[in-house]
Structure 1
Amino acid sequence: MPELASAADILRTLVGFDTTSRGSNLALIAWVEAYLDGLSVPHRRVPNAEGTKSNLIATLGPAVEGGVVLSGHTDVVPVDGQPWSSDPFDMVRRDGRLYGRGTCDMKGFIALALDAAPAILAAQPKKPVHLAFSYDEEIGCLGAPAMIESIRRELPAPALVIVGEPTNMEAVNGHKGIATYQVTVNGREAHSSQTQQGVSANMAAIRLMASLVALSDKLEREADPASPFTPKGATLTVGVIHGGTAHNILARECGFTFDLRCPPGLDPEEVLASFFAEARALDGALKARASEAGVQVERQSSVPPFAPEPGGAAEHLARRLAGDNGPPRAVSYAAEAGQFQRAGLSTVLCGPGSILQAHQPDEFVEVSQMERGVAFMRRLVEWAAAGE
C-alpha cells in the first residue's frame, strides 16, 4: 500500500541516523525540522543544558485545547558486540520485516506520525495533533521532563498522550518504574597476602551485592499474585561490575550499577532503605580501617511507574483507533508514560512492534505492524478532523 511505502521511506531515513544515547540526536532532529518546514508546520527545540541533544515539539492544526500528543523517543541502544546480519543503520526489508536499529524501539512510531502529518493538515483538523520527540529515554528518560514542562507551559492543554512504545499496536495502560544506582566502593591497595595492611574494595562490594541478591529474592517471594505485570513484582538486577587490577592486589576500587523496577504503589527509596543503611554502616567501617576508603551510592535516574487510569481518555481513544477490544494490559519495561501521567495528562502506550525485538541484534518491526500503524493514523486523521 502506498501509505506504508511512504512511512517505510521515512523510517529508513530515521534509522540511518545513529542516535545511540551516548551520542547526539541533532542530525535527526534537523532532518525532522526540515521535513516539517516543507509542510509549514511550526516547531521548537527543547535542548539539553549542553546543547548537544534536543527534544522537538510541533503542532499540526489549530492552537486549541483538547488535542492529542504523539510522543516518541529518538535515541536507541548501542549495537556494540551484537551479531547483526546487516548494517544496523541501513534499514533492509526481508521476509515481511523491516530490520535496523530503532525500527521497533521506537522510530517506527515516529515514522508513522511524520508520514501522517500531510493528511492531518489536509483534513483541516478541528483538534490539533502535537508531535513530541525526546532524547535519552534509553538511559533513564532524561529528556522528557523538560519537554513535558514545555508542553504544559506553552501549548493549549492537550486532552491525552499516546506514547508509541512497541506494544503490537495494542493499548497498554500500565508500566513499571525504574530507578538506577551507581555504587562505588573505595579501598586501600596492598599485597593480597597482607590483608591487615589494606582494604579490598571488591570484598566489600561483594557484601553489598549479596544484600541486593537477597533483596531481589525477597521481592520475588512477596510479589502480588494478582499483579498484571510479568514478572509480577518488583525486580532488582546488578547490571555492570568493575573492580580490581590483579589477583594478588587488594582492590583499590570496585563499582557496580543496579536497577530496581517497581510496579505502581512501591517507592524504590523505601524498598532500598535497608540497603542504604547497610551501605552507610559499611562506609563507616571501611573508613575506620583506611581514611580514603568508603562507600558511595548515587542515584542515576528515577522514572515513575505508569498506573492504570480508570476510564482513561487516552486508552479509550487508542483502543478505538487500533480496533482493540482486548483485556487490560501492562508491561514491565519503563517508559515516558509515567512522566506524562505525573504531569496530569491522560496517557496510553500504543505503538508498532514487540518489546521482544527491542535491543536485540537484527532488531525488526513486522511490516504487518506498520500497516496496522498506518490504519491507526488514518483513523486519527478522521478524529482530528471531526474534533470530537
Structure 2
Amino acid sequence: MTSPYELPVRDILAKLIAFPTICRTENAELIDWAEGFLRDFGARCYRVSGKEEGRFNLFASIGPDTPDGIVLSAHSDVVPVEGQPWTTDPFVLTERDGKLYGRGSSDMKGFLACMLVAARYAASQSGLRAPLHLAISHDEEIGCVGVHSMLRDLAARGFQARGCVIGEPTGLRAVSGHKGKLAARIVCHGLAAHSANPDRGCNAIGLATDMVKVIEAVQEALKETGARDEHYEVPYSTMQVGLIRGGVALNIVPDMCEVQFEMRLLPGVDPQPLLDRLCVEADRLCSERPHARIEIETLNTYPGLHTPDDSSFLHEIMQITGDNAPSRIGFGTEGGLFSEYLDMPVVVCGPGSIDRAHKADEFILPKELQDGVKFVEQVVDMLVHS
C-alpha cells in the first residue's frame, strides 16, 4: 500500500471522490480519512460537530502556533447525482479522453486533494515560520450552513491568520468578491371553496401571483436604480422566484400556495429594506381580500465577499497566479463568512471550472490538478519566507 508520504494528488482525489459525501448526508468517513492523513504529518487536528449526527468540520494546523498563518479551505460535500445522465460512476475517479471524471472533481474535492498535498509539503519544510491551516467544512452546497459551527469556535478561541484561500474552482484566477444570498419563502393562505363558485373562497394562487409581480417590480427597481458594480457579469443585485407549490385539485379554490425566491446581493447591500417592502405589499394585498394571510420567512442567508483591492494578502496571491487585477464571480462561497467571523482577508482561488460543477460527467483536467498543487505549494512557500 502506498504510504501518505508517496500518495500522488490524483490518488488522493480518487480516495476523496470515493466517499459519497452528498450534501445533507454524513461525511464522517471522509473526515476520518483526512484526519488520519494529516496526523501522519504531525498536524494538530480538531473536529467541530455539525447539528446533525455524522457531519463534521475539520480544522488542522501545521507549523508554529503564531497568528500570521494562512488558511486553505474547502467543503467536503457534493451535490446529488440522481437523475443526471452520467456516463461513468460518479464516485469512481475515471480518466477518459484526457479528463478526470467524478462528482466533486472540480467542485471542490480537486482543491481538497491539493490542500492535503500542501499539508504534506508544509510538514517537509524545516524553515516554516508561520502555520498552514486547513479548514474542511460540511453542507456548503445547501447554503454554506455547515461551516458556521467551526467559524464560531475559531472566533471564540481568538484565532487569527494572515488570510484565507477558498479553493472554489476559478481556473486559478484570484477572486476578491462575490454576491451574498438570501433564500426565503412566501406562504399565501386563502379560503378553500368549490370551483363552481370561486367567489366564496379566496384563491391563494392568485395571491401568490400578485406577490410574484411584486418581486418582479423590486427586481426591476434594483436593476434600474440600485447599487451597481461593473466588475460583475450581472452588475446589480437580483431577485427571482424559483419554486411555486399550490393547489390540490382543479375543482377546489386553493387555500394555500408557497413561493420560494432568492436574492443575490452585491456586497454591502442590506436585504432588510427589500424584505420590508415585500411585507408592506403583502399587507396591502391581504387588506384587499377577506380571509387572505401572507407569511414571509427567511430560509437561509450568507454574506457577500469584498476583499479590498489594496489588500496585501490579495496581492501576494495575485503574484502567485499572475493576475494583474482581481476578478469577481457570480456564485457564492464561504468566503464572506470567514471574513465576517474572523476579520481576515479572503481570496477565492482554485483549480477547475465552475461551469462543470453540478452537472453529469463533472471533470477536472490532470494539468489543472497539477497546477493546483503548484499553487498551494507556493502559498506554503509564503509561510517559509514570512
Cα separation, 1, equivalents of 2:258 and 2:360: 28
Contact 1:180 1:258 in 2 (8 A): yes
What residue identity is the alignment partner of 1:153? A
Cα separation, 2, equivalents of 1:355 and 1:300: 25
Residue 300 in structure 1 maps to residue 299 in structure 2: yes
Cα separation, 2, equivalents of 1:128 and 1:281: 57
Cα separation, 2, equivalents of 1:146 and 1:358: 26
Deviations 1:123-150 (Å, cap 9, x if unpaired)?
1322100011111211111122222222
Shift of 1:210: 1.8
C-alpha spacing 1:254/1:4, structure 2 compared with 1 (3 Å): farther
C-alpha spacing 1:267/1:226, structure 2 compared with 1 (3 Å): closer
Cα separation, 2, equivalents of 1:317 and 1:4: 29
C-alpha spacing 1:301/1:101, structure 2 compared with 1 (3 Å): same
Q: Which residue of 2 aligns with 1:200?
A: 203
- SS of corresponding position for 2:332: coil
C-alpha spacing 1:223/1:231, structure 2 compared with 1 (3 Å): farther
- SS of corresponding position for 1:174: strand
Residue 261 in structure 1 maps to residue 260 in structure 2: no
Q: Which residue of 1 aligns with 2:125?
A: 123
Deviations 1:149-181 (Å, cap 9, x if unpaired)?
222333652111111111101100110010110
What residue identity is the alignment partner of 2:236? G
Cα separation, 2, equivalents of 1:313 and 1:133: 25
Shift of 1:40: 3.2
Contact 2:168 2:349 in 1 (8 A): yes
Cα separation, 2, equivalents of 1:274 and 1:30: 47
Alignment counterpart, residue 178 of structure 1, candidates 144, 164, 181 = 181
Contact 1:4 1:371 in 2 (8 A): no
Q: Which residue of 1 aligns with 2:331?
A: 333
- SS of corresponding position for 1:230: coil
Deviations 1:81-116 (Å, cap 9, x if unpaired)?
222222222221222322111111111111100122
Q: Which residue of 1 aligns with 2:90?
A: 88
Alignment counterpart, residue 107 of structure 1, candidates 103, 106, 109 = 109
Cα separation, 1, equivalents of 2:301 and 2:228: 25
What residue identity is the alignment partner of 1:333? F
Alignment counterpart, residue 44 of structure 1, candidates 46, 67, 71 = 46
Shift of 1:222: 3.5
Cα separation, 2, equivalents of 1:160 and 1:226: 24
Q: Which residue of 2 aligns with 1:58?
A: 60
Mean Cα deviation higher: 236-245 or 173-182: 236-245
Mean Cα deviation higher: 270-279 or 160-169: 270-279
Contact 1:166 1:351 in 2 (8 A): yes
C-alpha spacing 1:64/1:308, structure 2 compared with 1 (3 Å): closer
Contact 1:284 1:294 in 2 (8 A): no
- SS of corresponding position for 2:33: helix
What residue identity is the alignment partner of 1:355? I
Residue 149 in structure 1 maps to residue 152 in structure 2: yes
C-alpha spacing 1:254/1:103, structure 2 compared with 1 (3 Å): same
Contact 1:4 1:370 in 2 (8 A): no
Contact 1:45 1:56 in 2 (8 A): yes
Q: Which residue of 2 aligns with 1:188?
A: 191
Residue 384 in structure 1 maps to residue 383 in structure 2: yes
TM-score (norm 1): 0.92
Cα separation, 1, equivalents of 2:354 and 2:194: 48
Deviations 1:196-247 (Å, cap 9, x if unpaired)?
2222221111111121122223323336665211111112121222111222
C-alpha spacing 1:239/1:60, structure 2 compared with 1 (3 Å): same
Cα separation, 1, equivalents of 2:269 and 2:178: 13
Shift of 1:380: 2.4
Q: Which residue of 1 aligns with 2:282?
A: 279
Cα separation, 1, equivalents of 2:286 and 2:19: 44
Shift of 1:284: 5.2
Q: Which residue of 2 aligns with 1:237?
A: 240
Give the superposed CA RMSD. 2.1
Deviations 1:272-319 (Å, cap 9, x if unpaired)?
332121123334555x42xxx522111011111111313213312222
Shift of 1:264: 1.7
- SS of corresponding position for 2:306: coil
Unaligned runs of at least 5 residues, structure 1: none
Cα separation, 1, equivalents of 2:7 and 2:44: 26
Cα separation, 2, equivalents of 1:189 and 1:91: 53
Shift of 1:383: 2.1
Shift of 1:24: 1.9
Mean Cα deviation higher: 139-148 or 298-307: 139-148
Unaligned runs of at least 5 residues, structure 2: none
What residue identity is the alignment partner of 2:323? N
- SS of corresponding position for 1:103: coil
Contact 2:184 2:296 in 1 (8 A): yes
What residue identity is the alignment partner of 1:266? V
C-alpha spacing 1:156/1:223, structure 2 compared with 1 (3 Å): closer
- SS of corresponding position for 1:44: strand
Contact 1:319 1:325 in 2 (8 A): yes
